[in-house]
């Protein structure tokens, strides 16, 4: 395989994943969910979210087809399950002002790592890319994408300081509405696909 071809594949994978993970669009949601946390704690949760996303993509990349076949699952099932989970989180944020987790680390795993950062769309993208591109190109493209996401999350503190406390509070409420909207979209897409609409 020629180097140019490999590089182009890496770029295509990185761009596709970056778009589908929507890290810039999710940034206000991540900031809202981590409101009130110290800088170190927030960055730790961001790293947890990134690691969760990478592990999920790796797991589905290596054994996705087997898992889907073994449990008779479809991407639509994941969309509906993820949608219900996100909707419950959104309702709690709107009613209580925040999500209460038994352990703060949980936020980094759910909902930040999954399904916000890596949801049905990202999983599907990786599965499709593995069928049409070189395995190492997909691996490298995923690494590039997550490095860019890490940079965005790393500098999110500057954005947070610029907004201030009131801005952060507004973002928390807006993020809850956005999470609810994403949840409804996931559920709608899953149901429509199952019904063949």
How far is residue 158's CA from residue 197's CA, in Å, rounded to a whole number? 44
Domain ranges of the chain: 3-195
When pLDDT is cut at 50, 70 and 90, the band that residue 99 belongs to is low
How far is residue 197's CA from residue 194's CA, in Å, rounded to a whole number? 8
How far is residue 126's CA from residue 138's CA, in Å, rounded to a whole number? 7
Q: Which H/E stretch holds residue 31?
A: helix 23-33
pLDDT digit string, tens, across residues 105-119: 678 898 899 888 998
CA atoms 135, 141, 142, 143: torsion sign:
positive
Q: What is the pTM of this model?
A: 0.71
| 72-94: average pLDDT | 80
Q: Say what the pLDDT of residue 141 is.
A: 96
| 190-197: average pLDDT | 85
User: What's the mean pLDDT when you consider all of the chain?
Assistant: 82
DSSP helix/strand/coil, 173: helix
When pLDDT is cut at 50, 70 and 90, the band that residue 1 belongs to is very low
When pLDDT is cut at 50, 70 and 90, the band that residue 130 belongs to is confident
């Amino acid at each position: 395989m020629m180097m140019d071809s490999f590089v182009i594949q890496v770029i295509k994978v990185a761009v596709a994943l970056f778009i589908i993970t929507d890290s810039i669009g999710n940034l206000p949601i991540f900031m809202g969910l981590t409101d009130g946390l110290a800088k170190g704690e927030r960055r730790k949760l961001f790293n947890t979210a990134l690691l969760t996303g990478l592990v999920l993509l790796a797991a589905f990349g290596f054994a996705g087809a087997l898992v889907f076949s073994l449990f008779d699952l479809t991407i639509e099932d994941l969309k509906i399950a993820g949608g219900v989970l996100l909707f419950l989180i959104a309702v709690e944020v709107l009613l209580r002002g925040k999500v209460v987790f038994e352990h703060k680390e949980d936020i980094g795993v759910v909902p930040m790592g999954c399904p916000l950062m890596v949801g049905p769309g990202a999983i599907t993208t990786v599965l499709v890319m593995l069928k049409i591109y070189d395995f190492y190109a997909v691996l490298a493209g995923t690494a590039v994408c997550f490095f860019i996401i890490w940079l965005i999350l790393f500098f999110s503190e500057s954005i947070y300081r610029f907004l201030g406390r009131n801005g952060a509070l507004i973002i928390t409420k807006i993020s809850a509405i956005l999470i609810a909207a994403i949840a409804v979209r996931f559920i709608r897409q899953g149901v429509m696909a199952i019904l063949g609409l």
